[in-house]
Structure 1
């Protein structure tokens, strides 16, 4: 099991001080779309509060939408509604879907990234005045990401000795380098050859 506990000295930095930016819809995080709204409403049924909803949304994206590399799916998705409809995506796409589901229920959500062999995408949610990173990538042998506001339980822990790192920046919208490669790829093999290694 891989568990990532963020260093106490790492401060997550908002790209903008305006929290409403982390609730906004855009072309990738299209939480105004009917399918996103319907999915959010279904997940919200019977939950006690925003925290329980956030956990349910995280587990829904993590567990019911396979990471396309793990499943062998060749399709490339990037818009949240398409991820939910086609039920496939890589880390960035799954992060867009989770961000849309959370923002649909007025939970401020940022996009964030790790520099591994290639750039890896995840989200951060804001609860109790603080940001908490979550990784809906999808579990597999050696990966056990969990929803947590009490110490990070991410899919991967960067290895600084190998040049890997966590980015402290909280993006209100997908990074253009990420969105550009997703939109340009005709299939996952092409996407794999063009994934950004830096932002």
Structure 2
């Protein structure tokens, strides 16, 4: 389980700004801390393509600094805030239709947190808008997206670190629009093997 608390280059939870915010959002109760951190990231970090915001962020500290990120980057910040509060958290992925009408497809990233009362619980800080209402309400899961097409997949595996394909896409694209045209996709078969 220690790998779900690890500090990495991307999940740089020991950064002073992350530690300060994590302490501010902390509670004596793990569920309350998780909910407050989740809602803070969901509601205070603007989804890059929804708000047409630059730069493309990747490291948790960058997401906090610029207050914007794609779903993946937002999951990096949420993981950092939770790990800074000694809460085990990992990364989850779905493969979804980009325009909700079939091809092209892309990964969508979110988190899973270990809650002693419930076990692993998935939560999606992507950011709500018309048609998207992700909430923290364990044990009921309420993610941003469901599965609608045969080529989509909801991978149930919990990764300790973000997928390398995701990190590469975030680091190689510099504007929200460039990223939108180069969203990472690993293919249905890749996720299905986990």
- TM-score calculated relative to the size of structure 1: 0.86
Is the Cα contact below 8 Å between 2:91 and 2:160 reproduced in 1? yes
Give, in angstroms, the shift of residue 72 of structure 1.
Answer: 1.3
Moved over 2 A (4+): none
Give 1:1-199 correspondences, 5 Å limit: 19-44=1-26, 47-117=27-97, 118-128=106-116, 130-159=119-148, 161-198=149-186
Instruction: Answer 1 or 2: higher relative contact order, Cα 8 Å, separation at least 6.
Output: 1
Local SS of the residue matching 1:63: helix
- TM-score calculated relative to the size of structure 2: 0.88
Is the Cα contact below 8 Å between 1:134 and 1:148 reproduced in 2? no
In structure 2, distance between residues paired with 1:174 and 1:180 = 10
In structure 1, distance between residues paired with 2:175 and 2:96 = 22
Is the Cα contact below 8 Å between 1:62 and 1:139 reproduced in 2? yes
In structure 2, distance between residues paired with 1:168 and 1:109 = 14
Unaligned runs of 5+ in 2: 98-105
Give, in angstroms, the shift of residue 31 of structure 1.
Answer: 0.3
In structure 2, distance between residues paired with 1:134 and 1:108 = 13
Query: If each structure's strand is expressed as a fraction of its own residues, which one has the higher value?
Result: 2
Local SS of the residue matching 1:147: strand
Unaligned runs of 5+ in 1: 1-18
Q: What is the total number of aligned residue pairs between the two structures? A: 178
In structure 2, distance between residues paired with 1:75 and 1:98 = 18
